Structure 1
Amino acid sequence: MLPFRRHVTDVDRPRLTRDVYVLGVIAFFVMVGFGVVVPVLPVYARSFGVDHALVGAVLSAFALMRLVASPFVGRLIDLMGERVVLSVGIGIVALSSGLAGLAQTYPQLLLLRGAGGIGSAMFSIAAMTLLLGATDPSLRARAVGFYQGGFLVGGMAGPALGGLLATISLTAPFFFYAGTLAVAGLVGVVLLRRAPQHSSTTVTAPPVPLGVVLRDVQFRTACVANFAQGWSSLGVRSALVPVLVVEVLRGPTAWTGLLFAASAVAQTIALAPAARFVDTVGRRPAVIGSFAVAAVTLFAVSLAPDVWTLGALLCVYGVATAFMGTAPAALVGDAAGARGGRPVAIFSMCSDVGAIAGPLVAGLLVDTVSYPAAFGVAAVLLAVAAGAAIRLPRTATGTPTPA
């Protein structure tokens, strides 16, 4: 007689929790508002009669203050909890955005954008910590993918709305941003569970000591990958592709928006299958493959002979970023488990450092050497991240593995 074998039913299988869906909705509203403000912000800053360097300072203040605040956010999460820090962070960004629309001088605008960066760090780190802690390890990448999908969809809708609102006034987008953040904060307060009950054992496990996490090859690989992605995606690609289109390919500025939109659509379509691949096949092949493809593709961007080739390359890069965004975040969850506020803060800072340094170094290389040199440095960093992943565990979901 065959032994009794219990069939796994849909009830037994781990599922994405309600908190994951709520965080995805919050991400959508946050990014819609952010996308509305970004195209208008440089013009609004110029309306105060400042030069282009000071316009750039307004754009950098947000990212710089995110970086400065991040080390303290991890400790705040340990003391106050993810939900409180998330709600306060959204409130700070909402208030600073609304006041920015009322700014009377350039210094006021600069200070308010900096304050918004502090709130953004609180929101983003708390949201990612909550997301990783509220999810079964076998579903971490899919949770991150859903969350990032909210950002991508919101990011695609935001600039179009921003253009319409700018026809009303330059300050209207800032008030709209404050409104979308108010909605996001309300969703979080009402729908995020105060005492969630999950099937994942990581939720009830004690926090992993930070020293153990820092020695984990999974966490170190994730940080290297996030730095490389911040440098290449948030830095070099965003800073140089618009200039490449206009100055090298001699195309109109509008082409840049269309190319970035096509890349974002490709990334959005690839998110779900990429996240499933990361959870089922493994973090290791996802990181190695996606960062290697991104390295080759990004360098090829600098050699694109026409806009069609450039668009195709950016779409391939967009697909790669679907894996690059989910796999490293899942690795952080594998290494730190639940209640990993400080590890998530360190992970976030790696991306911020790359995003701040990348455009500066790339711009210097373009001025002194060439476009291929600037893109080549970014490609090397992506290749280093792919190489670092060779030491990762071969299992789909890893366990803390000190180097």
Structure 2
Amino acid sequence: MLSAVSFFVAVGFGLIIPAIPIFAASFGVNKTAIGLIISSFAIMRFSSGLISGKLVDRFGERAVLGFGLFMVSFFTLLTALSQSYGQLLTFRSLGGLGSSMFSVSAGSLLMRSVNDDVRARAQSLYNGGFLLGGITGPAFGGVLSAISLRAPFFVYSTTLAIAGMIALVFLSEKRLGKKVDAPTAQIGQTTLGEAFKLRPYQVALMLAFINNWILFGLRSSILPLFVTEKLNSTAAIAGLGLTIGALVQGVFMLRAGKYSDTKGRKAAFLFGSAFVLFGILMLAFTTNTALYFISMALFGLGGAYVGTAPGSVVGDIIKGRGGQVIAAWQMAGDAGMIFGPVIVGLLTDIFSYQVAFLVSAGIWMIAMLLATILPETRLSHLENDLIPDKNKQEL
């Protein structure tokens, strides 16, 4: 059910990706104002993460999940009806609050619903819903934008409402045979203070930041410009490369999850990170589109393995409900998406694309070094719990 929810959210989000900057530009604003529309959503998600986690711990995942999805749906509808840039910025930003509630509650429910023997595979399947929706959405988004710049937002509002209905109707005790919204006092809770004392959680936070910086920030910021300006190709070729990466990632996603569940989170991250590093280095010395396509395929292969490892670590250490623990981890990833594109763009403006890629490779090597100190977190492979009685820390 969560994978179905993630698909409807992602396919709708993919629809509006091509339309957001063009819709904002229709109000006669400059490129800085257009960029603010895009970043304001992520900034709101980041700033409201701990609030969403508190709501999950207080009211349970299902209620917060459904409410958050309907909130994003409502503000997306208002975004489609915006008559000024100010309205567009306000409604798009408020949608980020609902998105934060959705992502934190879905992550909490997913992580506590499965044991650590299959956790990475479950997360791979959940991420697969996002990936499939992310591939499908943009293909239709351009067509809808040609009809009307507001049309993608109306459709996105509808897909979010469908996702909200799935969450409220199918994630129920009657459908699942078990109570989703069990009281926190009954199922237990991992506090943020407990999690911060754990080395695996500390490492997972840093890996989430660097992951999103490289795997999302780098690819979404300067890559399309690199293809058009340095490779003298087209935006269509840039998009094709990203699609190739997404398809390769989808092919290996479940296999990567199984590898993480059997070999360990550290093994999965180190294995995948080698391919990501090769992909970044290849970009730094790419002179034609063929090498660009190969580098994107390497990104996709490596991303399949490194994408689930930090989240699986967080799921492994949580006992019961841990809304704020998951929220802080997702906020670390959001921070990577906020700062990564800015820093990479600045390096490109001051120096060159090659310098930006090489610095990114250096940042990625830091992630690889961090992964080497990541302790095993699958409780089925340990003699003792990570969070012992009286909050005594073992790792």
TM-score normalized with structure 2 length:
0.92
| Residue in structure 2 matched with residue 292 of structure 1 by the alignment | 274
Pairing partner for 2:216 from 218, 234, 248: 234
Pairing partner for 1:153 from 104, 112, 132: 132
| Residue in structure 1 matched with residue 51 of structure 2 by the alignment | 72
- Within a 5 Å distance, the mapping from 1:266-277 to structure 2 comes to 266-277=248-259
Equivalent position SS for 1:167: helix
| Residue in structure 2 matched with residue 13 of structure 1 by the alignment | none
**Is the 1:66–1:118 Cα contact (8 Å) retained in structure 2?**
yes
**Is the 2:316–2:377 Cα contact (8 Å) retained in structure 1?**
no
| Residue in structure 1 matched with residue 28 of structure 2 by the alignment | 49
Kindly indicate whether residue 93 of structure 2 is the aligned counterpart of residue 131 of structure 1: no
Q: d(CA) in 1 for partners of 2:307 and 2:185?
A: 23
Q: d(CA) in 1 for partners of 2:356 and 2:67?
A: 39
Kindly indicate whether residue 203 of structure 2 is the aligned counterpart of residue 221 of structure 1: yes
Unpaired runs of 5+ in structure 1? 1-21
Q: How far apart are 1:229 and its partner, in Å?
A: 0.8
Q: d(CA) in 1 for partners of 2:61 and 2:189?
A: 14
Kindly indicate whether residue 360 of structure 2 is the aligned counterpart of residue 381 of structure 1: no
Q: d(CA) in 2 for partners of 1:395 and 1:119?
A: 31
Kindly indicate whether residue 74 of structure 2 is the aligned counterpart of residue 95 of structure 1: yes
**Structure 1 moving runs of 4+ over 6 Å:** none
Q: 1:324-382: CA deviations, max 9, x gaps?
A: 11111100011123311111101101111111111111111111122222122322222
**Is the 1:91–1:185 Cα contact (8 Å) retained in structure 2?**
yes
Q: Which amino acid aligns with 2:315?
A: G
Q: d(CA) in 2 for partners of 1:29 and 1:151?
A: 8
Q: How far apart are 1:84 and its partner, in Å?
A: 1.1
| Residue in structure 2 matched with residue 342 of structure 1 by the alignment | 324
| Residue in structure 1 matched with residue 301 of structure 2 by the alignment | 319
Q: d(CA) in 2 for partners of 1:205 and 1:81?
A: 11
| Residue in structure 2 matched with residue 104 of structure 1 by the alignment | 83
Q: d(CA) in 2 for partners of 1:160 and 1:191?
A: 29
Residues 347 and 395 of structure 1: CA distance in aligned 2, closer, same or farther (over 3 Å) = closer
**Is the 1:73–1:345 Cα contact (8 Å) retained in structure 2?**
yes
Unpaired runs of 5+ in structure 2? 387-392
Q: How far apart are 1:160 and its partner, in Å?
A: 1.1
| Residue in structure 2 matched with residue 174 of structure 1 by the alignment | 153
Which segment is superposed worse, 391-400 or 70-79?
Answer: 391-400
Q: Which amino acid aligns with 2:343?
A: V
Percent of aligned positions that are identical? 37
Q: 1:217-255: CA deviations, max 9, x gaps?
A: 211121111100111122112111101101110001111
Kindly indicate whether residue 331 of structure 2 is the aligned counterpart of residue 360 of structure 1: no
Q: d(CA) in 2 for partners of 1:372 and 1:66?
A: 31
**Is the 1:234–1:355 Cα contact (8 Å) retained in structure 2?**
yes
Q: d(CA) in 2 for partners of 1:396 and 1:285?
A: 12
**Is the 1:299–1:372 Cα contact (8 Å) retained in structure 2?**
no
Q: d(CA) in 1 for partners of 2:168 and 2:187?
A: 25
Q: How far apart are 1:298 and its partner, in Å?
A: 1.3
| Residue in structure 2 matched with residue 8 of structure 1 by the alignment | none
Calculate the aligned-residue CA RMSD, in Å. Answer: 1.8
Q: 1:287-319: CA deviations, max 9, x gaps?
A: 122223312321321211211111111111111
Q: How far apart are 1:187 and its partner, in Å?
A: 0.6
Q: d(CA) in 2 for partners of 1:361 and 1:120?
A: 25
| Residue in structure 2 matched with residue 62 of structure 1 by the alignment | 41
Which segment is superposed worse, 188-197 or 69-78?
Answer: 188-197
**Is the 1:39–1:162 Cα contact (8 Å) retained in structure 2?**
yes
Residues 402 and 239 of structure 1: CA distance in aligned 2, closer, same or farther (over 3 Å) = farther
Q: 1:49-77: CA deviations, max 9, x gaps?
A: 11111111111111111111112111111
Q: d(CA) in 2 for partners of 1:36 and 1:334?
A: 34
**Is the 2:46–2:335 Cα contact (8 Å) retained in structure 1?**
yes
Q: d(CA) in 2 for partners of 1:213 and 1:75?
A: 15
- Within a 5 Å distance, the mapping from 1:31-46 to structure 2 comes to 31-46=10-25
Q: 1:97-156: CA deviations, max 9, x gaps?
A: 111111011100000110111111110111011100111111110110000000000011
Q: d(CA) in 1 for partners of 2:192 and 2:131?
A: 31
Q: Which amino acid aligns with 1:273?
A: R
Kindly indicate whether residue 277 of structure 2 is the aligned counterpart of residue 306 of structure 1: no
Q: How far apart are 1:402 and its partner, in Å?
A: 4.2
Q: Which amino acid aligns with 1:283?
A: R
Which segment is superposed worse, 213-222 or 306-315?
Answer: 213-222
TM-score normalized with structure 1 length:
0.90
Q: d(CA) in 1 for partners of 2:171 and 2:278?
A: 41
Q: How far apart are 1:395 and its partner, in Å?
A: 6.8
| Residue in structure 2 matched with residue 16 of structure 1 by the alignment | none
